[in-house]
Structure 1
């Protein structure tokens, strides 16, 4: 690996109090498959199919590697082993930037997602400036909505979306955040 590539990867990494957010790698496919094969995770996401396969993960990683917004997709890891336990990303879609995330259910309830999302949102606003960042969660996903609320996201509406994992329409609470309302999250 060239020194230039190592330096770019180092600066792309985001370290928090308990986590390391690092760029995605092809070898993350198995860990992604493991997490998204758990219906308790996938049922709260609109795009991944269920069951989720290794081919799905490899296809997604390949498409993500070709994306111009690749710099905004991070594996959520713990510093000791840097094994993927979740994902946090900001992507340009439907004319705006959108925050999305998921986490292995064995790590739920510990503030990891608030910490990871906060770190990525802070970097996004520092680099991009005064953009509006959109997000949302299924209406029944109180934990995800709490993450957004902690960071300062404001509810902007309610809409029906198709959830591929369920093969059905579900209600999504839409949210938005500007730098003026952003509240960084710190564990403890």
Structure 2
């Protein structure tokens, strides 16, 4: 099993995906893979999310599937049973982190303040999600954290676009970014996997 820090090194961009149909999962993962992206975060924002995770893990090799928007009791365990290889949370409560730890899966806990980052670091987490990145201070904020918190690395998510992703990736404490622009809902609805592949190639070039 990969460590959480290794999850951040799989691809310069982790696609943050909302799926309306489980049947979209496998062709989506394959399109991302053809474009050079070998990881995907399926968010628990629709009822089909866990089924989508099951389909990708069963049918697509060499793509690490994470489950994001883990916010409620029991979700971490369900994600693990579905085959998730890592977990992502938008925020960090003690109960949520306890349940994530119980699964044994690498976890990227969400933080947006220095105090939150210190608190999760005290629990042994060193690879964190910075969310919501742009509203919470963006590039200048993360740049300011590099010196006082040298042992932490971040995956900023929230307001990341192809236009600003490069500025985040240039920071010494950022290993990758999370973004939804690689998998536009309109493209998924139309089954336009060529567009997804093209967007994945562009994202890889950012790194």
- Confirm or deny a common fold (TM above 0.5): no
In the superposition, the TM-score normalised over structure 2's length comes to 0.26
TM-score, normalised by the number of residues in structure 1 = 0.28
Greater percentage in strand? 1
The structure whose RCO (Cα within 8 Å, separation 6+) is larger is 2
